[in-house]
Amino acid sequence: MSELSRASGVSVATIKFYRREGLLPPGVAVSATRARYDESHVRRLRMVRALVEVARLPLSVVRDVVTAIEDHSGMHEVLGTAHTALSRPGASRPGETPTTRALQQVDGLVRRQRWRVHAGSPSRAALARALDAYDSLGRSMPVDRLDVYAEAAHAVAAADVAGVPDDSREEAVEYAVVGTVLSEPILLALRRLAHEAVSARRFRTTRRPRD
């Protein structure tokens, strides 16, 4: 176990904790006090630690991902479980029920974009809640703006998914979850930087407006 700790960079105490929590399978016992661990344990440990420490997912949710992997689910199902874990209500904002109107906006968008999305997808509800929050200030997101956003999101997602390694489900999950979480601040900062550039083009030569 101390070799496993060295290979994975995870402390022995944390490894024991993950073992007790059922997040790491046992090694093969070679004597009363020693067990053999292999490369699959190292990959699992790295994934679990990334989900706990970087994505800050609760252990119960990490266990769902581990269960999906141990059930020999296919890559799509495993990644789906990971995505569900990331977008569950309460992850970033309270899980209020979205309005029917917002859900219809989302479903219209999904149809126009020809996206294949589960009706029970937490991202669908999360998007509807975000639209409700926007609308609650007396604004309404224009449909054509939402379509521009969706196409931009699709281009980003296509680049992300193309980079997911497909030779181990643990590595794929770690890559997808950590990559999504860590690149969100990058995307938001890029958008603000682009605002500055586009705003300069529109307003820099404008005379002072009437006020």
Structure tokens at 116: 């294949």
N-to-C CA span, the chain: 71
Nearer CB in complex with a second copy: 22/165: 165
Q: Which is nearer to a second copy, 48 or 69 (CB)?
A: 69
Look up residue 170 and give its amino acid: E
Per-position DSSP letters for 83-119, written without gaps between them: HHHHH-TTSSS--PPPPHHHHHHHHHHHHHHT----T
What are the structure tokens assigned to 167, written together?
């030779």
Residues making up the chain, counted from first to last: 211
Q: What is the rounded radius of gyration, in angstroms, for the C-alpha atoms of the chain? A: 22
Shortest separation between residue 21's beta carbon and a second copy, angstroms: 21
DSSP class of residue 163? Answer: T
* 146, amino acid identity: L
Query: Tokens representing 121?
Result: 């997808």
**Residue number, 22 or 74, with CB nearest to a second copy:** 74
Nearer of residues 11 and 40 to a second copy, judged by Cβ? 40
Angle between helices 75-87 and 169-203 (to 10 degrees): 50
Q: Which is nearer to a second copy, 28 or 158 (CB)?
A: 158
Cβ nearer to a second copy, comparing 34 with 145: 145
CB of 19 vs a second copy, minimal distance in Å: 20
CB of 88 to a second copy, least distance (A): 11
Closest CB 131 distance from a second copy, rounded Å: 6
Secondary structure tally for the chain: helices H, strands E = 9, 2
Helix H or strand E encompassing 29: strand 28-29
